[in-house]
């Protein structure tokens, strides 16, 4: 949990040098988001913690689900059941 107002103040006043943000209160963050304007912030779309292999597996599952949807079949629930 992060107090976004306090974090923004700390970033803009130099209390902290920078931040990497991956999980956001509102996803996706709007392009006009105040953090997007800061040079000392790196934002990723809630996927920075995964491995390359994990991302590929997730994409495969998403594509399987899309294929099942378009074929009017039951959706694959592998992603939801992964731990």
Within 8 A by CB and 6+ apart from 43, the residues are 20, 21, 22, 24, 29, 35, 36
pLDDT digit string (tens) for 8-66? 999 999 999 999 988 888 888 888 899 989 999 998 877 666 677 887 888 888 898 88
The answer to whether the beta carbons of residues 10 and 2 sit under 8 Å apart is: no
SS3 24: coil
- Taking the whole predicted model, whether its pTM rises above 0.75 is answered as no
């Amino acid at each position: 949990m992060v107090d976004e107002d306090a974090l923004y103040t700390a970033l803009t006043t130099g209390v902290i040098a920078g931040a990497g943000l991956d999980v956001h209160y509102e996803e996706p963050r709007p392009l006009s988001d105040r953090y997007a304007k800061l040079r000392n912030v790196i934002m990723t779309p809630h996927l920075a913690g995964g491995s390359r292999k994990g991302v590929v597996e997730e994409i495969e599952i998403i594509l399987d689900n899309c294929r099942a949807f378009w074929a009017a079949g039951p959706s694959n629930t592998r992603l939801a059941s992964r731990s």
